[in-house]
Amino acid sequence: MTRTDAVEATGRRYEIPYGSLVSGLGALVVALFVASLAIGYLPVDLWQGFGDALNGEWTAPALVLVELRVPRALLGTLVGFSLGLTGAAMQGLLRNPLAEPGIIGVSSTAALGAVVVFYFGLSGLFLLALPLGGVVGAMVATVLLYGLAGRGAGTMTLILAGVAINSFAGALTALALNLAPNPYAVSEIVYWLLGSLADRSLLSVWLVLPLMLIGWALILMSGPPLDALTLGEDTARSLGFNVGRLRLQLVAGTALSVGSAVAVTGSIGFVGLVVPHLLRPLVAQRPGRLLLVSGLGGAALMLAADISVRLLPVRPELKLGVVTAIIGAPFLFSLIYRLRAEE
């Protein structure tokens, strides 16, 4: 296969009509959601569990479903959607296929924000303190990143900015662990940082949901200006878009969705890198159309990964963040290798 053939294959041959793509991915998410409810360590009769829960009878199946499975599946969907969506948004804004909340340091500063809240005992003050800590952390990273790497920055600058932000956030998180008053707090923070959907309550879902929804809305509204940005900032502006507002909208949207996601599940990396990359050819490379599609793809990937973690015969259960990193990092290698070849 020549290079042109390869480009053609990725650029066009796999394109799928937008409507079919969205509904197909939507159906996949629903199927995986149901599978996530059905699969677990105890065999549970879904119908019985739902019936009992609706009747207010707290039988074992009802409890497993409502306390364990539903929050887990919901969080998987929400967090996966957030990560896929923000990956696509950041890649569109920075016009770089390597932009991803984890790589560019947004996830780690969100984690730092949540750790700070946790560490200073602020999480007890009010319910939203932890997710808000994550949001503020993520916001700081996105603003820093934009300052460091700017618009349409080269791959090198972007990655270096990410390295700088990641190491600083890592250092401050380590500092918090270093100064932690007791070993119990340390192990709790460390385990949380590994990233997992297990054992989160329904309450945490309701806590982050509004923040995420606002974040999603901000990002999903920005399709046309993101398409226009393909031609550069000046041209996008000449087509009538306010690029400053777009930037603010995407930075705020990313901070809200990733910040709140990380505050609940810890950092789960690479979803935002892998998903937009795989789906981009299917939407004919249009950054605007990639948004919703990547969100759905992210939700599907997250649910699938979380199901496989439960099915793997490894105990204690592998943390989801560990699994996505083990799969995602080699993917990053190959992507960098290919970008290098193109440059």
Partner 1 sequence: MDIEANDIAVRFGRTAVLEGVRFTLRAGEMVGLIGPNGSGKTSLLRILANLREPDAGNVRYGGRSAADLGNRELAQRVAYLAQAGNVHWPMRVETLVALGRLPHRRPMQGLDAADRAAIERAMVECDVIPFRSRTMSEVSGGERLRILLASALAVEADILLADEPIAALDPLHQLQVMELLRMTARQGRGVVVVLHDLALAARFCDRLVLLAGGGVLAEGPPSTVLCDEHIATAYGVEVVRGERDGVPFVLPWTLCSNAGHSKT
Give the residue, chosen from 2, 147, 234, 314, that forms a contact with partner 1 under the rule CB under 8 A. Answer: 234
Nearer to partner 1, 11 or 170 (CB): 11
| Count of residues of this chain found to bind partner 1 when the rule CB under 8 A is applied | 27
- Binding pattern to partner 1, positions 198-227, x when CB under 8 A? --------------------------x--x
Nearer to partner 1, 40 or 224 (CB): 224
Q: At its nearest, how many Å lie between partner 1 and the CB of residue 280? A: 8
CA-wise closest residue to 322 among 265, 283, 261, 281 = 265
Judged by CB under 8 A, the chain residues 114 through 173 that form the site for partner 1 are 152
* DSSP three-state, residue 96: coil
- Is residue 100 a contact residue for partner 1 (CB under 8 A)? no
Contact 136, 113 (CB under 8 A): yes
Please identify, among the stretches 8-16, 33-41, 71-79, 308-316, the one whose residues bind partner 1 according to the rule CB under 8 A: 8-16
d(CA 21, CA 284): 12
- Is residue 26 a contact residue for partner 1 (CB under 8 A)? no
d(CA 145, CA 142): 5
- Is residue 232 a contact residue for partner 1 (CB under 8 A)? yes
Residue type at position 75: L
CA distances from 194 to 213, 264, 265, 337 (A): 25, 12, 9, 27
Q: At its nearest, how many Å lie between partner 1 and the CB of residue 98? A: 13
Contact 258, 106 (CB under 8 A): yes
Contact 97, 226 (CB under 8 A): no
Please identify, among the stretches 136-144, 176-184, 234-242, 293-301, the one whose residues bind partner 1 according to the rule CB under 8 A: 234-242
DSSP calls for 299-335: HHHHHHHHHHHHHSS-SSPPPHHHHHHHHHHHHHHHH
- Binding pattern to partner 1, positions 283-302, x when CB under 8 A? -xxxx---------------
Q: Please report, as ranges, the residues that interact with partner 1 according to CB under 8 A.
A: 4, 7-8, 11-12, 95, 152, 224, 227-232, 234-235, 237-242, 280, 284-287
